[in-house]
Amino acid sequence: MHIYKHEIRYYECDRMGITHHSNYIRIMEEARIDYLDKLGWGFDKIEADGVVSPVVSVECKYKSPTTFKDIVEVEVKIGSMSELKFEFFYTMRKEGKLVAEGHSVHCFTENGRPVIIERRLPELYERIKKSM
């Protein structure tokens, strides 16, 4: 489990002053990137090795609105991991109150072809596995 904090910016809000729903997907991505950075295997390092990690699927369920200057704490967890893909779960809270829950699935590719991360980047695979 990892906690990432995001402060809602003015431009992330709609005309009603509520955080636009699309921004929660971006916040999930920020949290995922921060999670991997904290593991010592950020996307910059992964991509420098010639591997990319596209999103296979993503979903977000909205529970309660947030507004400008709110601090959203995102709990990031790895749900499962296989040879070709892994999934993240996100729980987003404002002052302890649930505001959204999300889920994303990712794979690893090199030159457009799927790679088995355990073989291609074994150190990353082990770090993710230990963090579960």
Domain boundaries, the chain: 2-131
Active site positions, annotated: 14
d(CA 87, CA 132): 11
Cβ contact 29:88 at 8 Å: no
Query: Considering Cα of 115, then 120, then 124, then 130, what sign does the dihedral take?
Result: positive
Regarding the domain delimited by 2-131, which CATH topology (the fold level of the hierarchy) does it fall under? Thiol Ester Dehydrase; Chain A (3.10.129)
Question: What's the pTM value of the predicted model, to 2 decimals?
Answer: 0.91
Our separate counts of H helices and E strands in the chain read 4, 7
25-58 pLDDT tens trace: 999 999 999 999 998 888 899 999 999 999 999 9
59-83 pLDDT tens trace: 999 999 999 999 999 999 999 888 8
d(CA 29, CA 35): 10
